[in-house]
Amino acid sequence: MAWTTCCPGGEATRGLCRTVCDIRLSLRGRDGQLSRLTYLFYVLFSLPSPVVKTACFSTHFASVKVVTPPVYLDNHATTKPDPRVVAAMWPYFNEIYGNAASTSHRFGWDAADAVDRAREQVAALIHADPKEIVFTSGATESNNLAIKGSLEHVKKRGNHIVSAVSEHKAVIDPLKRLAREGWDVTFVPCDEFGQVSVDEVQRALTDRTVLISIMAANNEVGTINPFGAIGKLAHERGILFHTDATQAVGKLPIDVRADGIDLLSLSAHKLYGPKGVGALYVRRRDPQVRLAPLFDGGGHERGFRSGTIAVPLVVGMGEACRIAAEEMESDNLRILALRERLHAGLNSLEGLKLNGHPAERLAGNLNLSFSRVDGEALMMSMREVAVSSGSACSSSNPEPSHVLRAMGLDEDMARASLRFGLGRFTTEEEIDYAVESVVANVDRLRRLAVLG
């Protein structure tokens, strides 16, 4: 900002205003809190009159952006609900509070209408028919319903399932249980970027394969799998294809028809919606996918998922999907620029390794290993920056990330990793704050390691 045009005090005070500008310029790039306090001190004690103080304060101080810790960079674990989502949900807590299954009065009708709209919004985001959307409590339930429910109707054709070593535990653990029950389960490897190739999936198929389950995008390293090509392969072989798209929906364009997806799992809280609600896409034709419910009791959701629908949560999920459909492209461009800013800022550190595919990855994901530093110790030392050392759903597990180990990282480098998850509400100032914190703490921990 040029001082000759910003000063409201005229020629008499323009020199003082120029000093203010000089102070702001000299402090640019340092800690935002220091800039704010220094400028406030100058305005309060140096300018000649209350009028000039107020005018200069409004002109200069309002443009000083300050980071108020803690900084949230763990958007793969969960996202902040969008205010528009919260606003859409609120009436269904205290005004339109009927049971959507109550068909005898207006309260139930209004609730059912809201659920229908939400179903349409979810379906539109992935190019599905609204009748193909089944609401669940989240992606973990959706994965279990997709895998266990579909097998009940195809077990006469075979008993072989293909998945990948890099899947989320919400897929791996149900498959391990099925293996203990007699199913033949093959976990194909991923490459050094965490990507599962179509060729690896194809080599694993047998004439007894009835289900393929490969995630759309990895929750730890952000690598995007060729799910469209895998879906095409599955349909050519007459095999059901399920994808855990929890991290991908709302961040990547998905067309369940074009991508050959028969079953797709998603969760609202990963796309700025509420926790406690998710959905499962179940293809109705070409082929029609049949599911056996996990539990019985009322026949809700076309008999696939009994239980009273949580109308406020479903409404929130629908609104989150509507916003994502409209703003996905602009969100990705802005978030990608922030991710590159973060990566560039951390590149000054020696021994930095990028984990995941350098190009085919989610815009908001940056997974890095810091050599000679324990990731858990680094994460705990940065109390004001929220990041993750792995999947939040398995963060209590002391073992190093199974995804990073599958990618070929040794145990030390796997333990030296941090996952940064950027999102819709991440700012440049927060990125700069995180860079300063990470660099300072990596340097400190490395010095301590040398002394120790």
Q: How many CB atoms are located within 10 Å of the residue 173 CB?
A: 15
**DSSP per-residue string spanning 139-176:** HHHHHHHHHHHHHTTTTTT--EEEEETTS-HHHHHHHH
Is residue 393 among the annotated active site residues? yes
How far is residue 163's CA from residue 169's CA, in Å, rounded to a whole number? 12
Helix (H) or strand (E) holding 417: strand 417-421
If you count them, how many residues does the chain have? 452
Distance CA 127, CA 452 (A): 57
Contacts of 53 (CB under 8 A, 6+ apart): 43, 44, 47
61 φ, ψ to 5°? -70, -35
Any residues with CB less than 8 A from the CB of 324 and at least 6 apart, and which?
125, 249, 250, 251, 271, 272, 331
Distance CA 440, CA 452 (A): 18
Concatenating the DSSP letter of every residue in 246-276 gives: TTTBTTB---TTTTT-SEEEEEGGGTTS-TT
Q: Give me the active site residues, please.
A: 393
